[in-house]
Each structure stands twice: as C-alpha cells, then as structure tokens.
Chains A and B, each alone.
Chain A
C-alpha cells in the first residue's frame, strides 16, 4: 500500500508493460502531485514513451493501476472499492476518480482530461492552425451542434458555441505566439512553431494533466527557454499538472519539481531535481562507468 497525500493527482502503481518477451516497463510506481511539473527521464529505450502510452490509454498495461483524480481529494478513499467494482471511474459533482488502465485512449482524453503531445509531431498538416485547435474542442462543439443534427439545420446555439471555441483558440494562439499564422496550414509552420502548436492544441482540450513527449526536441536554446517560461506560466494559471519526457537537461532541471528516472524499464531514482542529479545510479545510467569500477558500482546499485 502506497501512502497517499491529499494533493496527489496521479498515482502509478506497479505498472508493467510486456511486449512478448520484452519487458518495456517493469513494476514502476510513482506519484504526481497536483500543480507540479514532473519529468520522466532516462537513456534511449528506457521505456519512457511506453509509460506515456500506458497513461494516455494508447497501450493497455500488462499489469498495474493508474489512478487519476480531480476535485475532491477524499475521492482517493474510494479507490479500492472502485478497483473492486470493475468500473472505469467515478464522477461526482465535486470531482472524479478514474482508473486509466481501463479506459481506451479517446476516453482518457475526453473523460479523464489527460492531453498529450507526440515525440514525432502529429498535427493535422493539411488543416489550418485554427482548424487544428477547433478539432481539439470536438466533443464540446459536438454537443453544442446537437450531434450534428441542430448544426445542419442551422440552429443559433451552435453558432455561438463555435464563436466561443474560436475565441478560445485565438487566446491560445496569442499566448503561443501563433496568432498571425492562424490561417496558414499547420504543415507549413516552421518546426518550433509546430511544437508549440501541438501543445496549444492539447491545451484546447482543457486538460488536468498534460503529457509532453520531448517538447524541446529540435528547438534551439532560445526557443526552449521560451517554452520553459510558457509552461511555467500556464501551469500556474490553469490548475494544470505537467508530465514531460525530456532529454534536454536544462529544461528538466529548470522547470521540473520532481524527476523520475527510468533505465531499462526500471525506476532507478525518484525525487527533486538536485537530488536526482547527484544520484550515482543516475550518473552511471547516463554516463556509464570506467571498466575497473563496474563491479563496485554494480554492487552499490544492487544489480
């Protein structure tokens, strides 16, 4: 039993993902507090993206429990009964608790409000920047258009909902510095702008947890510093928690409150950035060790 705090948002317990004989993630447990930025780091092939895919419902984990809660923290007390019941989650007036491992990907986004970006950017390249952000607001607009029926008949309720959606998209474009490109196709934007657009699109789904898969990859130092700034600001304003995979240590160390380090699917460190940075296991995983020290380090690491 893992001790829970009231401010906890996401609890990952004993997450294991096997692909045939390959164990991509092995018995991973960690917790995320509300309003924090947690970084998931590790060498290539450590299983970081697999963890992401499990949390966002793109993979169904082989074992483990992934619980996400918003609103009233006392909902955590119902976790065991929810797990026993076989339901996907409980939704109450004052909050909700979901078991993400039981939900398909689109419901994780729609109901549990977990948004994500992709390592290789996935924009709707042939649609304009604005259209990309409207697609992100699909479910709300679908409701407003009376599941298309009222919309086809031209009811005014849809027109006002669409105006609100466009205003919201305009706000996000403004914050991400993309407003003057709003009517250009997304595929024509420069790389850095595409990265920002993908985050803006994810934000348009009103997430409580934003999962960013290498948001700074391919950005120059100035762009990546701007991105850090932006992430900190939106985290502060929107009751948002961010889980990010990142190789750029300047991003990780500057903005994250909490770092989880994976190596070969196993968690080797978990804590504040400074503590993790000086952890000998982490240093060994990233930099390797001299040949004569291997036995010594392995003994220390416990292999």
Chain B
C-alpha cells in the first residue's frame, strides 16, 4: 500500500514543479506580449502602460493547466496507451463517412432558414453574414489553394495576390464599364488565372523554399502595385461604391424597383445577405465539385504524381512545367472568383484587405485541414474563421478581465496555439488519409505517412 501512495505523492510534487516552470516560461513569454501595452494618453503621447492583473491571470491559467495535465491527464493518457487498442467502431465510422457529406451540404443549404427560425429576422443578419459568408469565402479560398499546395505540392505563400486580382478586376470593370456581376465573375477568374500563368512561367522552375519565397514576393508586389498605382486603383483609399450584384436585374434596395418592393415584402438588408450567401455557397460547391472531378482526371493524377516524384513523372512523358502551370492557374482562378465575390459583397476594397496575413490564414487552413483533403479544409476554415468571429461575441470576458479587454486581440495567439496542438497530435492535418482516385476492387484509404508533401 505504501508504494503507490508514495509514487502518487512524488507525481504531485513533480507536477507542481512542472507547473511552476511552465508558469515561469509563460511569464517570460507573456510579459512583453500582454504585460506591457502602448497607449496614447490625453496629450497624444505614446506611453507604456502595464497590465499586471491580466498578465498574472494568464500565467495562472497556464500554470494551472499544466498542473492539471501532468497530475491527471498525462498519467491517464499513459495508462490508456498501455491498454490494448479497442477495436475501432468501424460501423459507426462507415456510416459517418457515408452520410457526413450529404448531411453537411443539406445543413449549409438550410442554414439561413435555420438561423432565421432560431434567432428571428433581425438577429439573423450577423449569423448569416459574419459566420456564413465569411467562413464560406475562406472555405472556397482553402479549396482553391488546396489544388496548388495539397494536390500539386507547390508551396504558394502569395495566394492572396490572385484574390486581389479578382477583387480589383471586378471593382474596376464594374465601376468603369458597368458590366454585371455575372459577366465579371468568370472574367475575374480568367484574369486571375492569367496572372497565375504569367507568374508561373518564370517561377515554376524553382523548387521548394525558393518557390515559396518568390510567391511570397509576388503577393507583396501585387499589393504594392495596388497601393502605388493611384491613378488606377486609388491607392490606400481603395475603391468604394462598387456595384452590388442584383437578383436577375432587381437590385436589393429600398427603392420602388427594389427586391423587397417587387416581391411585396418589407425592406430588409437580410435578403441581399441571403442572396450573397447562396452565391458564395454555389461558388464554394463548384470549387469542390471541380476539384473532386479533376482528381479523377489525368491532370489531377498528374498533379498528385508531381507531388510524389517529379523525376518519375518526366520519365513517363509528363510535361511537368505545363502540369504545374495548370495547377497554378486553376488555384488562381478560384481565388479570382472568390475575390470578385468579395468585392461585390463589401462594395469597398482597399489594399488593406490583401496583406500577407490573408495568405498565411488560407495556407494554415489548408495545412491544419490536411493537405489534399476537402472535408479537412472545410472544417479547418470553420474552426479558424468561425473561431475569430466567436471571439467578438465573448463580451462576458470583459466582466472578468476588465472593460479594456478585447478578445479579438488574442486571435493570433489562439491560432498559434491551435497550430502547435495540431502539429503535436496530427502533424499531417485533421484528415490525414488520402482517398485513391480509382480502384479495382476496394477503395482503401491511404495513410498519409506514405504520401509526400511535395517540394515544388
């Protein structure tokens, strides 16, 4: 009886020491991040303020979390890993795999109706706009980048450039020439993929890190051109008053020929938002559908083969340059679609919307979701973008941490945390299997350990 008791006690001491050390590290880390804050005082001077209570709250949370982990969770995990693995609930998994996609599609189609039923007409705007449309834009961008990074294995850090080209194409052509949304949507996609090919020709002979750096530079070049070519783009001030899409020619305005008046409804901005929601949903589903189709076509297999081994591809007569270009152009095209939708939705765009952080967000969605996996990317987009939006809703935290506490400021910290956790537990992303594109007898999923990440 004595021995287990002793080991228990030693565990607690060890856990306490561990927690103290973690608290110390957290203190060192959070001191500059949270402890100090620059604020402008009443004389318009920048002064350094301190936030000791908040800092100590963070340190205490970290230390307590670590204590709980090493005292309770770690022994439990060790115990569990010693036990023989339970036979997987394969039936349950089978039905989940079979019904997940139809259920998810049905859910997103019914989502606006469900929201209106749940929170009423006036509260629904935020849920459809901030959560629905915003997330779907990133789902679509994630799926588009997934073609380039996940399938073809080309690391593209400047994906936002194509998004920007799409957005500015729509904004400039719609404002200056008055073309409608439905003409400009494909046109923006074509112009974006044209830029993708233009960039691809000189760049795609580079491999791995070098490709990543040049695409990063390309993203910045596009942004700087948008800032500095003021005659065309109006620089930092951006382009405002971009025409919004209409419902087969009927605008969503409060005027007599507006949507609400024509259909005998009371005017509400909600109709436009619902309309936009279904447009982006259709675009996102189109992206997914085309990607799924392409994976089963020779070009898609060539992309994946390229990711696996470029030299073997060349020995089989595959023109690797052209194949890479098609992947780049295809990814850019979907970014262009998303960009033109973005411009049409916001009615205002400026270079601020197309910074590197956008590329990084989309890339982290692809990496977290599992490269090449459609469902994984969608889940990652929901978690990351939905998570950001949820942070805005957490007003009750102000009562705990004081009225100046703004949860959205901790977005990047939480992204980082999510990234670290994913890299520890699922280093190849949430969905770490690859489904073969063709099979003779039985479709067996392939463990991602065998699948290569590609080196450009």
**A75 close to chain B: CB less than 8 A:** no
Chain B residues within an 8 Å CB radius of A124? 304-305, 308-309, 312
Q: How far is the CA of A139 from the CA of B451 in the complex (A)?
A: 23
Are B444's CB and A127's CB within 8 A?
no
A110-B301 contact in complex given A126-B450, A166-B438, A185-B450, C-beta closer than 8 Å: no
Do most interface residues of chain A lie in helix, strand or loop, or is the interface mixed?
helix
Contact code string B441-453 (vs A, CB < 8 Å = 1, else 0): 1111011101110
Are B317's CB and A106's CB within 8 A?
yes
Contact code string B287-319 (vs A, CB < 8 Å = 1, else 0): 000100110011101101100110111111111
Q: How far is the CA of A154 from the CA of B305 in the complex (A)?
A: 22
**B88 close to chain A: CB less than 8 A:** no
Closest to B305 in A: A135
Q: How far is the CA of A256 from the CA of B297 in the complex (A)?
A: 39
Q: In the assembled complex, how far is the CB of residue A289 from the closest CB belonging to chain B, in whole angstroms?
A: 39
The B-contacting residues of A in range 64-120, CB under 8 angstroms, are: 105-107, 109-110, 115-116, 118
Q: How far is the CA of A125 from the CA of B440 in the complex (A)?
A: 18
Closest to A169 in B: B440
Closest to A144 in B: B298
Chain B residues within an 8 Å CB radius of A134? 298, 301, 438
Chain A residues within an 8 Å CB radius of B318? 106, 135, 138-139
A135-B440 contact in complex given A151-B293, A152-B290, C-beta closer than 8 Å: no
**B409 close to chain A: CB less than 8 A:** no
Q: In the assembled complex, how far is the CB of residue B287 from the closest CB belonging to chain A, in whole angstroms?
A: 12
Q: How far is the CA of A107 from the CA of B46 in the complex (A)?
A: 65
Are B442's CB and A183's CB within 8 A?
yes
- Contact residues on A (Cβ < 8 Å of other chain), bracket: 35 or more
Are A135's CB and B313's CB within 8 A?
yes
Closest to A108 in B: B317
**B320 close to chain A: CB less than 8 A:** yes
Chain A residues within an 8 Å CB radius of B315? 56, 58, 105, 109, 115-116, 118, 122, 202
**A194 close to chain B: CB less than 8 A:** no
Q: How far is the CA of A128 from the CA of B326 in the complex (A)?
A: 23
Q: In the assembled complex, how far is the CB of residue A53 from the closest CB belonging to chain B, in whole angstroms?
A: 10
Closest to B436 in A: A128
Are B317's CB and A58's CB within 8 A?
no
Closest to A56 in B: B315
Q: In the assembled complex, how far is the CB of residue A246 from the closest CB belonging to chain B, in whole angstroms?
A: 19
**A241 close to chain B: CB less than 8 A:** no
Are B297's CB and A148's CB within 8 A?
yes
**B411 close to chain A: CB less than 8 A:** no
**A130 close to chain B: CB less than 8 A:** yes
**A170 close to chain B: CB less than 8 A:** yes
* Contact among B308, B443, B450 with A188 in the assembled complex (CB-CB below 8 Å): B450
Are A205's CB and B440's CB within 8 A?
no
Chain B residues within an 8 Å CB radius of A126? 304, 308, 434, 446, 448, 450-452
* Contact among B297, B304, B442 with A127 in the assembled complex (CB-CB below 8 Å): B304
Are B314's CB and A58's CB within 8 A?
yes
Q: How far is the CA of A182 from the CA of B438 in the complex (A)?
A: 10
Q: How far is the CA of A128 from the CA of B451 in the complex (A)?
A: 11
**A142 close to chain B: CB less than 8 A:** yes
Are A123's CB and B317's CB within 8 A?
no
A183-B314 contact in complex given A122-B309, A135-B302, A145-B297, C-beta closer than 8 Å: no
Chain A residues within an 8 Å CB radius of B305? 124, 127, 135, 138
**A201 close to chain B: CB less than 8 A:** yes
**B437 close to chain A: CB less than 8 A:** yes
Are B294's CB and A152's CB within 8 A?
yes
Q: In the assembled complex, how far is the CB of residue A117 from the closest CB belonging to chain B, in whole angstroms?
A: 8
Are A183's CB and B443's CB within 8 A?
yes
Are B299's CB and A131's CB within 8 A?
no
Are A131's CB and B297's CB within 8 A?
no
Q: How far is the CA of A131 from the CA of B320 in the complex (A)?
A: 18
Interface residues of A (CB under 8 A from B): 56, 58, 105-107, 109-110, 115-116, 118, 122-128, 130-131, 134-139, 141-142, 145, 148, 151-152, 154, 158, 162, 166, 170, 179, 182-185, 187-188, 201-202, 205
Interface residues of B (CB under 8 A from A): 290, 293-294, 297-299, 301-302, 304-305, 308-309, 311-320, 326, 434, 436-444, 446-448, 450-452
Could you name 6 residue pairs across A and B whose Cβ atoms are closer than 8 Å? A122-B312, A126-B434, A134-B298, A148-B299, A183-B442, A183-B443
* With A109-B316, A166-B438 already in contact, 18 other A-B pairs whose C-beta atoms are closer than 8 Å: A58-B311, A106-B314, A106-B317, A106-B319, A125-B308, A125-B451, A125-B452, A130-B438, A131-B304, A135-B298, A135-B305, A135-B316, A139-B317, A145-B298, A154-B293, A183-B443, A185-B446, A202-B315
